[in-house]
Structure 1
């Protein structure tokens, strides 16, 4: 196929996707909605079920009801959602990566997340397995406070990388400036710290919106990633000038996100037979 044929084929492909993607979105969402647990928090559970172990002992609760995500994932994804919104308001269309100096605190967040996650997993093995695994050493006794804070740090790091990467791939009039600077990082850490402290009160007034916000954070990250993939597949990099023009990549990203969630939900439920956390012991 020569260059002229490729150029003429692209509009036809775009027109086809404008027809088929909305249909696929409706079908995928309908399938997921039909088997997900009832109610708003039930649907939130079904999203969390696809990306989180949802072990009750490692989660915050509203009364007897477990949040859709564990403490670590709650911190990670509500923070990612807040961070993306913050960047959209404070750094519109900025595409510059943090750089080495700003990368240092982000790397610290990543390392802290990894250390606490590994230590927590080893402690879980010690609790649920017998034999030699009972002698696994631990750096410290893991707890939900550390899970929340290290998850929140990871959320900031994820958003700080994904936001400029998305802008680099989407916008025609992209701003080459850095999305994150020291002042913005300080403000963002302050906002997240206050929200984390509010979560630790375990007040239902706080946990209800945090539960929804954390799930929206999951969806925001997945939609952005899959939208970028769609833009690359369709060879539409740097062709968009407004969010309105991005409706098809966003809808495709949403469809792919729910397709992934649906597949994982069905497989996990088939294996475990429960919408709760992974069975232990």
Structure 2
């Protein structure tokens, strides 16, 4: 049953090739190594930023040197993916994981300020990763997140694919939350997380519809191509 759930969640998002995926507890993770890195990187990146900024809720994007570093993180995944798919070089699951995690880590730093600005009634006015010390902490936590994803979490057995599944849902919900909060009735209404349950439920419903639509599109395409 859980195996079916994991496959269903990632079906429309990823090719799910066994040779490009990790296994834990006898289960294949819902998505490949690169996508595992993206979604875990995003979820752990949000947690890292929460630890770094505590209750500040910054709404401004990082300064341009940090944004340039984030762009380089995303470009690293693009380079690894494009060159390996073109047959110019061989990639590995470890390399796919780390470059995917770099991308997820960067996207979390871009997404969280937008969520803060749209969700909270009393959002902060500061800038994300506003000091060199915070950027250093962010990078140290990135290394720790990779070690956790590559060597610690596989030891947890079935908790690993469950965590990746939760990270996929969290990633989609975070982006959907921005759009939900563009509706005036939901914009900047929450004081605490428990006040945001209507927005979160709508974001979760949208996530379910998006995953179902992606799965249907893959199934339809595969039937079309025979």
TM-score, reference length from structure 1: 0.70
Map 1:87-102 onto structure 2 (within 5 A). 87-91=49-53, 92=55, 93-102=57-66
**Any unmatched runs of 5+ in structure 2?**
none
Whether the 8 Å CA contact 2:80–2:96 is kept in 1: the answer is yes
For residues 156-206 of structure 1, what are the alpha-carbon distances to aligned partners after superposition, in whole Å with 9 as ceiling and x for unaligned?
111000000111111221111122243333333333323423544487415
Measured in 2, the distance between the counterparts of 1:192 and 1:212 equals 21
Higher Cα Rg, which structure: 1
Change (3 A) 1:194 1:90: closer
Map 1:236-275 onto structure 2 (within 5 A). 236-272=186-222
Query: Which residue of structure 1 aligns with residue 34 of structure 2?
Result: 72
Whether the 8 Å CA contact 1:172–1:241 is kept in 2: the answer is yes
Q: 1:144 aligned to 2:108?
A: no
Q: 1:185 aligned to 2:147?
A: no
Paired residue total: 221
Measured in 1, the distance between the counterparts of 2:154 and 2:182 equals 42
DSSP-derived class of the 2:44 partner:
helix
Measured in 1, the distance between the counterparts of 2:139 and 2:43 equals 13
**Any unmatched runs of 5+ in structure 1?**
1-37, 124-137, 274-278
Measured in 2, the distance between the counterparts of 1:185 and 1:120 equals 31
Change (3 A) 1:240 1:270: same
Query: Which residue of structure 1 aligns with residue 178 of structure 2?
Result: 228
Change (3 A) 1:144 1:96: same
DSSP-derived class of the 1:95 partner:
coil
DSSP-derived class of the 1:69 partner:
coil
DSSP-derived class of the 1:210 partner:
helix
Whether the 8 Å CA contact 1:60–1:202 is kept in 2: the answer is no
Selected match of 1:163 from 108, 112, 122: 112
Query: C-alpha root-mean-square deviation of aligned residues, in Å?
Result: 2.5
Q: Which moved more, 1:205-214 or 1:108-117?
A: 205-214
